[in-house]
Amino acid sequence: MSEVNSADVLVIGSGGAGLRAAIEACDQGARTILISNGATGKSGATMLAGADVTLDGGSAAKIGLPGNEEDSKEKFLHDIIVQGYYLNNQKLVESYVRDAAARTKELIDWGVKYVWDGKRALLTQGVELNRVLVEQTRKRRITITDDIYMTDLLTQGNTVVGAAGIDINHGEIRVFEAKAVVIATGGWQRAYSFTSAPGGMTGAMHGAALRAGASLVNMEMVTFCPNVILWPPALRGDIFPYILIEMFGDLLEKHGRPFLKDEYDPSIYRIATTTEWNKLIFSVAGTRVVLRGDGSPRGGTYYSIKTVPLNILEEAEKLYPGWRWLRTDFSPIMDWLKAGNAVEVAPAAHYMEGGILVDENAVTTLKGLYAAGECSGGLFGANRVASAITQILVQGAIAGKSAAEFSKVRKTVEPDTKQLDKIQARLLSPFTKENGLRPVEVKKRVKKIADEHLWVLRNGKGLKTAISELEAILFKDIPELSLKTAARAYNKEWLDVIEIESIVQVLLASARSALYRTESRGVHNRTDYPLTNNNTWLREIVTRNVKGKLTLTTRPVTITKLKPPKGKFSFEEGIIRAVKELGE
């Protein structure tokens, strides 16, 4: 084990939430270390974000954008909660709409390039956000440490006193002692084989938080981004067809029929192509097509622009000159489509509404531990509609401040050597096994479980299968994993072992929560419980590790502003009803 690094505030994660948390902690006077599992600015979900920053039009007008003074924070809050199916922690939504303008203004002051959409969104791009935030981070006395894969929290009783992980390039175990720790590591999309998220989004710190005794919330809630390219391989993972379908083109089943137009109420098609309900509607409709056997060879549907006249394409290209947007080049996709081909598309694991349980000050259930951004849960309830970029900025700043304040009244605690020995033994154990199970095989099995049973449409039978298979992997297979090379430097199998450990724990929390929630709500759709049940299920599911056992409890949704309606609704009824409530 190498030397121990010491910080007042340790920020784990170098996307927007981590960068903003580090900036805030440093500005509050804390000695801050920022850790990335890749290269800061070149890893994490922020880099791939579209991206927009959302705030209400009234607040936008107050910070000098040509906003809409009739819009307000109250209206924005209302819309987020209605579309979140009332599962949102309303205290978190209040912070979101309250701080959105300040965070947006500061981005503009820091020189972010953007286009204002005239309503509620500042359109920019993930790489551009990272550019600005990394620049601000580097201006400050913040220690940046790259390619460190954090795996564990160090605790003393109920208090977090640091964290540990491995140096990916050199293979050493690294230990950081800290008066406060902020987790800002995004979601766990890499539990699935098809995702729009980059590598590294494996829920390692969700797993660490669980093992340390923190609670997770709403883990059954996973947003899928529909119409993501599945094939051809060079374009795989690109979400551009998801954007294009708002303008033109058709989603086709295997006979070339546009299924959403053919099979749904015209109002659903209109809502899918003009509102933020697009993710949910397209994902559910496309998955229904695949499940009945009318999908494409690789398990998706098709997106085609064959019916779009050339001059319409030329007009659209004016929005994206040369089919480029800032630093992203969509022209290879357009070349493929314009040549008359369809791309195969499918929903991809995209955003996690659930995560580490926090309050409005980013405080978790463990002392000294804070969480911000997508790794935290509760803000967006059962369906995210507003920007996750605003989320990471707002919550990052809050977490940085809370952690810095806490660190001022704390002393550094030396890590418990017994705890460190245990962590080291666990992390290094795959090196000591011979002829065990191959990590890549087990990883494939884990992803298959997620793909089959924790996908867009779920059911009780599948979830029970998932739970028993995941438990077997956790207790029987993981201890048997072994590596083919003893090289510690960039050992891919070793990284796979670490990923499998956290992914299995997080998937178990997700599957158990999904089985427990005997209804459909937002992005959680159960074919055996198709109705949204506001009479009994306006409750959050909380998962926690008690003496090595995953334990589930529920708590009523936190309501401060907007009272949910009573009743039960089907998928289509729920959407049509909510759209009326939004006055669209």
**In this structure, what token pair is assigned to residue 461?**
């039978």
Min. distance of Cβ 229 from other proteins in angstroms?
Answer: 10
- Residues 230/194, Cβ–Cβ less than 8 Å: yes
- Residues 325/125, Cβ–Cβ less than 8 Å: yes
Question: Residue 353 in 3-state DSSP?
Answer: coil
- Which of 199, 256, 309, 567 is the binder for other proteins (CB under 8 A)? 199
- Which of 288, 338, 410, 438 is the binder for other proteins (CB under 8 A)? 438
Write the CB contacts of 361 (distance below 8 Å, at least 6 apart in sequence).
398, 402
Ramachandran class of 293: left when φ > 0, alpha when ψ lies in -120 to 50, beta otherwise? left
The residue count for the chain: 584
Burial 148-178 (b: 16+ CB within 10 A, else e): bbbbbbbbeeebbbbbbbbbbeebebbbbbb
Cα-trace Rg, the chain = 23
Using CB under 8 A as the binding rule, the residues of this chain from 68 to 97 that contact other proteins are none
Comparing CB distances to other proteins, the nearer of 137 and 520 is 137
Is position 484 an interface residue for other proteins (rule: CB under 8 A)?
yes
Comparing CB distances to other proteins, the nearer of 169 and 468 is 169
State the number of binding residues for other proteins (CB under 8 A).
Answer: 40
First-to-last C-alpha distance (Å) of the chain: 59
Min. distance of Cβ 456 from other proteins in angstroms?
Answer: 21
- Which of 29, 111, 118, 232 is the binder for other proteins (CB under 8 A)? 232
- Which of 1, 2, 29, 39 is the binder for other proteins (CB under 8 A)? 39
Q: Is 70 exposed, middle or buried (0-12, 13-18, 19+ CB in 10 A)?
A: exposed
Is position 176 an interface residue for other proteins (rule: CB under 8 A)?
no
- Which of 149, 242, 282, 529 is the binder for other proteins (CB under 8 A)? 149
Is position 168 an interface residue for other proteins (rule: CB under 8 A)?
yes
Using CB under 8 A as the binding rule, the residues of this chain from 117 to 136 that contact other proteins are 126-127
- Which of 13, 16, 18, 38 is the binder for other proteins (CB under 8 A)? 38
Nearest to 110 by CA among 132, 134, 142, 138: 132
Min. distance of Cβ 550 from other proteins in angstroms?
Answer: 27
Cα separation of 137 and 525, whole Å? Answer: 41
Is position 396 an interface residue for other proteins (rule: CB under 8 A)?
no
- Which of 104, 491, 520, 545 is the binder for other proteins (CB under 8 A)? 491
- Which of 128, 238, 374, 540 is the binder for other proteins (CB under 8 A)? 238
Is position 322 an interface residue for other proteins (rule: CB under 8 A)?
no
| Long-range contact pairs involving 470-473 (C-beta distance under 8 Å, separation at least 24) | 470/446, 470/504, 470/507, 470/508, 470/511, 471/508, 473/442, 473/445, 473/446, 473/500, 473/504
Is position 477 an interface residue for other proteins (rule: CB under 8 A)?
no
Is position 2 an interface residue for other proteins (rule: CB under 8 A)?
no
Comparing CB distances to other proteins, the nearer of 58 and 207 is 207
Min. distance of Cβ 40 from other proteins in angstroms?
Answer: 11
Comparing CB distances to other proteins, the nearer of 130 and 275 is 130
Is position 236 an interface residue for other proteins (rule: CB under 8 A)?
yes
Q: Is 319 exposed, middle or buried (0-12, 13-18, 19+ CB in 10 A)?
A: exposed
Min. distance of Cβ 465 from other proteins in angstroms?
Answer: 24
- Which of 10, 25, 31, 43 is the binder for other proteins (CB under 8 A)? 43
Is position 257 an interface residue for other proteins (rule: CB under 8 A)?
no
Strands 52-54 and 4-12: unpaired
Crossing angle (nearest 10°) for helices 460-472 and 492-516: 140
- Using CA of residue 547, residue 217, residue 353, residue 130, what is the dihedral sign? negative
Min. distance of Cβ 302 from other proteins in angstroms?
Answer: 16
Is position 299 an interface residue for other proteins (rule: CB under 8 A)?
no
Min. distance of Cβ 129 from other proteins in angstroms?
Answer: 12
Write the CB contacts of 293 (distance below 8 Å, at least 6 apart in sequence).
none
| Residues of this chain that bind other proteins (CB under 8 A) | 37-39, 42-44, 47-48, 126-127, 149, 168-170, 198-200, 232-234, 236-238, 327-329, 438-440, 444, 483-485, 487, 489-493, 495
